[in-house]
Amino acid sequence: MQAEGIIKFNCEWLKDESLPKEILKDIIFWRNKLYELNLIGVYEDGIGYGNISIRHEQNKFIISGSQTGHIGIATEKEFTLVEDYDFNNNYIQCRGPVQASSESLTHAAIYEASPKINGVIHIHNLQAWEKYKNKLPTTNENIEYGTPEMATEIFRLFRETNAIEEKIIIMGGHKEGIIVFGENLEEAGDKLKILL
């Protein structure tokens, strides 16, 4: 497994001012709440963990930026708009004040898997991860986070398991990694309450 916290896709970052605050109100609220609960943050070694996104348009989404886990109170400067992506070419194009999270291809796959999903939360929690690994829809242990292979694995789980009903995916090869999703961030957050 490669080191944690590293972007593994080719990123075309169109550096821009922060995104409009009015469209970020909900995602900022949830990101800061998850930080308070230590579900998004940074480890002692400086590696950040966890991220959050919302669908912006059909094939676009807003996601927390790479290397923002250490920020206690996020603002509009910690988010970016993923405008384009290509799983086959391991590519992301984002526009905003920060580069897109290392998990952007995973979020893209979840949005592509179901048009009903409008909010995705990726947290780290060892206790829940150990409890639910291979009991809830779980990715193959050999699949690394943030890769085209993870996107393929997400599509497989949506086809072969009840992931869409559970609204939860355990990342088998990404220790502590759990993804929840829903029609909005509130629904995704409700799934977290059940897990934790």
In a domain, 117, yes or no: yes
Residue 1 binned pLDDT confidence (cut-offs 50, 70, 90)? very low
In a domain, 113, yes or no: yes
Domain interval for residue 173: 10-195
- The stretch 158-178 carries a mean pLDDT of 96
Q: Is the pTM of this model over 0.85?
A: yes
In a domain, 189, yes or no: yes
Give me the pLDDT at residue 163, please: 97
Q: What is the pLDDT of residues 9-32, one digit of tens each?
A: 888 999 988 788 889 999 999 999
Instruction: Domain count for the chain, please give it.
Output: 1
In a domain, 138, yes or no: yes
- The stretch 159-168 carries a mean pLDDT of 96
- CA angle 39–177–111, rounded 5-degree value: 95
CATH number for 96: 3.40.225.10
Q: What is the pLDDT of residues 53-74, one digit of tens each?
A: 999 988 899 999 988 889 999 9
